Amino acid sequence: MSVTDTIKEQIEKNAILLYMKGTPRFPQCGFSSRTVEAVMNCGERFAFVNILENPEIRAELPKYANWPTFPQLWVNGELVGGCDIVCEMAASGELETLIKQVAASQAPETDA
């Protein structure tokens, strides 16, 4: 499987996916720290990829996404943006609305 195929699979299989430096508990750059905090404040589960441990993805994703920097937040297969965009969306409430809608659509249906 090529690196591009791996990226496509990650984006397809995870409705909310953050490519970041470090992990949510231990972000390793200020931009990743601010972005993961904004996403975590939405209160929903999300997947992440530590690009520092995945140099192939770190090299290939900017070309695939046509977005040069990290972090990158992907929701429902679409690139939302990086730190500034995510933080602006968080401040306006738009990020939480988007994340909650996506999480609700992913939740398993129950017969209540």
Q: What is the pLDDT of residue 106?
A: 81
Q: Bridge-partner residues for 18, per DSSP?
A: 48, 73
Is the pLDDT confidence value at 108 over 80? no
Domain 3-106, CATH 3.40.30.10 — does that match?
yes
- Backbone phi, psi, residue 68, to 5°: -80, -15
Residue 44, Cβ neighbours under 10 Å: how many? 18
Domain spans in the chain, listed from the N-terminal domain onward = 3-106
Owner of token pair 């659509």: 105
Q: What value does the mean pLDDT of the chain take?
A: 95
> Is residue 21 within 8 Å of 28, Cβ to Cβ?
yes
- Overall pTM surpassing 0.85 (yes/no): yes
pLDDT in tens, 51-100: 999 999 999 999 999 999 999 999 999 999 999 999 999 999 999 999 99
> Is residue 73 within 8 Å of 95, Cβ to Cβ?
no
